[in-house]
Amino acid sequence: MTVLQNTTIFADGRLSKADIAFDEKIRAIGASLSGDEKLDGSGKLVLPGAIDVHVHARDLNQSYKEDWRSLGRAAVAGGVTTAFAMPNTDPPLDTVEIVREYRRRASAAPVNAFIYGGITRENIAQLVSLANEVDGFKLYLGETTGNLVIRNKSLHRSIFKTVAQTKRVLAVHAQRDGAPAIVTQHESDDIGYVLDLADAYGTKLHLVHVTTRRGTEKILEAKHSKLDVTFEICPHYLFFTDRDRKERGAWLKINPPLATEEDREFLWWALRENLIDIVATDHAPHTVAEKSLSYERAPAGVPGVEYMPVLLLDAVNNKKLSLDQLVAVCSVNPARRFGLAKGELSIGLDADLVVVDMNVEKRITREMVRSKCGWSPYEGMRLRGWPVMVFVGGRLVHGAEIGTDDRASR
């Protein structure tokens, strides 16, 4: 049993001074707790580990971009203790055999690994059996890496109906293809189409990487009508706009594309108003060589799993966000949506803990990036508030001792 002593913990929506004792589960929260190993957490915060419900772990035939081990190393350094991997791998995660192999590879990662099953035109009849192997399904209605886009509306109806029968969450990339301005302009319509399908078949829906005010408002209307839907935004839509894309070119080529300053400000407002369900990264680890190509030839997407909690911790320090709001969108809400015994500091839940020093300040450099892709769109940003120790299932996976960082200050 490990005891973090003299800490400030965030539990039940508030900060309090307490010790926290744990093995693979949280066993006790209180004063003067006893344990086999005691660590002094004076001056530090203890938060539940972040849950990133949208990462591309690559591996398999694209392990040169990222593999589960490097993905996990990057994730825990930033305070992400659970990652949900998307199925547009090479080969895609669309059969029982491939999903099992992917899960075997994921066991090498220092994070809790969850996997979406890919939906193709060929495997719709097998989705019920595939549901026993995956933690959710992913449907692509717009262009993505690989050959998973389905545009046939008749197939869409069949997919929503079948996934509803499995009781799994269906994550949907709703935005259509096209020039950036066109994608942004039509996001609300594309989301509306998907909401109608979920309503018709009673599908548990999760909409990924929402970028605009109108798209968000469309989802909020559906929620008001009691539709079973959640949605996510991504850090890059909070920190960059279409102007940044025009300046930085392929480095900020993202799918769906960066939206306007007005949309960005609305997302911040919605976050502060507790209208956003989840913040997830859409971590897309393309290599430096790939992103150095021309805009037309470069792949879309940016890495992000390593810095999501840190970006938001800095926002807390700068009074742009409350700690309660950060924990809700990074931990509590994703855990509840996917039925995980995680996301909160509560007795009996998994001991996925992040010890944070809110006064540590660092500038992100390329040299400190742990992702195998070797770069970050946030390079040059100076952020305050960093994890100094991270536990996954009670096991120390980042930070040698309280107050140190094993690699980030190289």
Rounded Cα gap, residues 221 and 182, in angstroms: 23
User: Scanning the structure block, which residue is given the tokens 């770069």?
Assistant: 375
- SS3 label, residue 47: strand
Determine the topology of domain 49-337 in CATH. TIM Barrel (3.20.20)
User: Scanning the structure block, which residue is given the tokens 């070119």?
Assistant: 249
- SS3 label, residue 83: strand
Segments in 146-240 forming alpha helices (H): 153-166, 180-201, 213-224, 235-239
Pairing of strands 382-392, 353-363: antiparallel
- Residues 373/376/377/378 CA torsion (nearest 10 deg): 170
Residues annotated catalytic, as ranges: 282
Q: What percent of the chain has pLDDT over 70?
A: 97
Per-residue pLDDT of 18-60, as tens digits, reads: 999 999 999 999 998 999 999 999 999 999 999 999 999 999 9
Q: What percent of the chain has pLDDT over 90?
A: 95
- pTM of the entire structure? 0.96
Domain limits, the chain: 49-337
174 burial via Cβ count (<10 Å: 0-12, 13-18, 19+) = buried
Q: Return the pLDDT at 143.
A: 76
Considering only residues 146 and 5, tell me which one the structure prediction assigns the higher pLDDT.
5
Rounded Cα gap, residues 400 and 196, in angstroms: 50
Helices and strands (DSSP H and E) totals, the chain: 13, 16
Per-residue pLDDT of 178-197, as tens digits, reads: 999 999 999 999 999 999 99
Q: Which helix (H) or strand (E) holds 317?
A: helix 308-317
pLDDT for 402 beyond 50: no
Q: Is residue 231 a contact partner of residue 190, using CB atoms and an 8 Å limit?
A: no
